[in-house]
């Protein structure tokens, strides 16, 4: 029987089906602001239509004990009593399966910044919130910023979709097209790379895989060079990107198949 994966991000909702053949089928995308409150009904409709055995919701939210405790980049929190997972964890799980890494860090850069940790092929959650790299403090008193979560000087307040738009007045995707160099000149980009470097030094990951609507547009050579400034030479993980904006939904579908 097939399994359904749903990605609820700050901007878009994507739905994919993992078929019996092991192939993914893209079903539909929605604007988050338009359809987030209808997600339970949408999922039930697809479950009936395709005979889905189990669904998993990958959502841009902090989850503890199966309950959402905060979702700063979402307009509202949908009522859903099925299997849920943080969206960056879904991304990391998909990346680990795709590249056959047992120990890796997956990072999504879209509306916000999230990260998921895979250890021995399984998602590592700690007490529930492991991997919230977007909310480490990177700011200083000369350029103090308030994050959408309410915290001060978090990485997400200097890099990621909403922060880039606030600083430059442009959507990140447009900035990549018009003048990509401005992305790499931002303080936030250097903060982002430093945070990745610290994570690598702490965990000695096999790989760091980047994704998301902004992350999959980053120049990997520039990213590697900047991250390298914060690493001892003995640390040399693979750094790559997944240019697939359905990666979170696919990871959610894989987790639905595993039932966890």
* Same domain membership, residue 114 and residue 70: no
* Same domain membership, residue 53 and residue 29: yes
- Residue 142 pLDDT level (bands cut at 50, 70, 90): confident
Could you tell me the CATH number of the domain that includes residue 44? 3.30.420.40
* Same domain membership, residue 123 and residue 231: yes
* Same domain membership, residue 80 and residue 49: yes
Q: Count of CB atoms within 10 A of residue 18's CB?
A: 25
* Same domain membership, residue 115 and residue 13: no
* Same domain membership, residue 108 and residue 44: no
Query: What's the pLDDT at 125?
Result: 95
CA 255 vs CA 81, 177, 259: distances in Å: 16, 35, 6
The residues near 79 (Cβ < 8 Å, ≥ 6 apart) are 40
* Same domain membership, residue 148 and residue 53: no
* Same domain membership, residue 213 and residue 114: yes
* Same domain membership, residue 212 and residue 131: yes
* Same domain membership, residue 117 and residue 217: yes
Mean pLDDT within 192-204: 97
Number of domain units in the chain: 2
Residue 209 has pLDDT above 90, yes or no: yes
Residue 81 per-residue DSSP state: -
* Same domain membership, residue 122 and residue 226: yes
* Same domain membership, residue 205 and residue 117: yes
Which tens digits make up the pLDDT trace of 23-54? 999 999 999 999 999 999 999 999 999 999 99
Report strand pairing: 67-70 vs 62-64: antiparallel
Sign, Cα dihedral of 194, 7, 75, 243 = positive
Domain limits for position 62: 3-91+246-258
């Amino acid at each position: 029987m097939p399994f359904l994966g749903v990605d609820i991000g700050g901007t878009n909702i994507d739905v994919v089906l993992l078929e019996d053949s092991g192939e993914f089928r893209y079903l539909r995308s929605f604007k988050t602001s338009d359809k987030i409150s209808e997600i339970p009904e949408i999922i039930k409709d697809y479950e009936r239509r395709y005979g889905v055995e189990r669904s998993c919701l990958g959502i841009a939210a902090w989850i503890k004990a199966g309950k959402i405790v905060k979702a700063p980049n979402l307009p509202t929190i949908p009522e859903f009593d099925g299997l849920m997972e943080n969206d960056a964890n879904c991304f990391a799980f998909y990346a680990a399966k795709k590249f056959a890494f047992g120990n890796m860090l997956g990072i999504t850069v879209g509306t916000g910044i999230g990260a998921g940790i895979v250890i021995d092929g399984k998602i590592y959650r700690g007490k529930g919130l492991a991997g919230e790299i977007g909310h480490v403090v990177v700011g200083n008193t000369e350029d103090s910023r308030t994050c959408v979560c309410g915290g001060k000087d978090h990485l997400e307040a200097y890099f990621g979709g909403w922060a880039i738009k606030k600083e430059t007045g442009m959507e990140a995707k447009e900035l990549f097209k018009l003048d990509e160099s401005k992305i790499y000149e931002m303080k936030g980009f250097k903060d982002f790379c430093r945070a990745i470097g610290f994570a690598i030094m702490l965990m000695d990951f096999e790989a760091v895989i980047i994704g998301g609507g902004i992350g999959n547009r980053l120049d990997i050579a520039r990213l590697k060079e900047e991250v390298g400034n914060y690493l001892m030479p003995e640390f040399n993980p693979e750094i790559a990107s997944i240019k697939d904006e359905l990666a979170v939904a696919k990871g959610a579908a894989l987790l639905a198949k595993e039932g966890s």
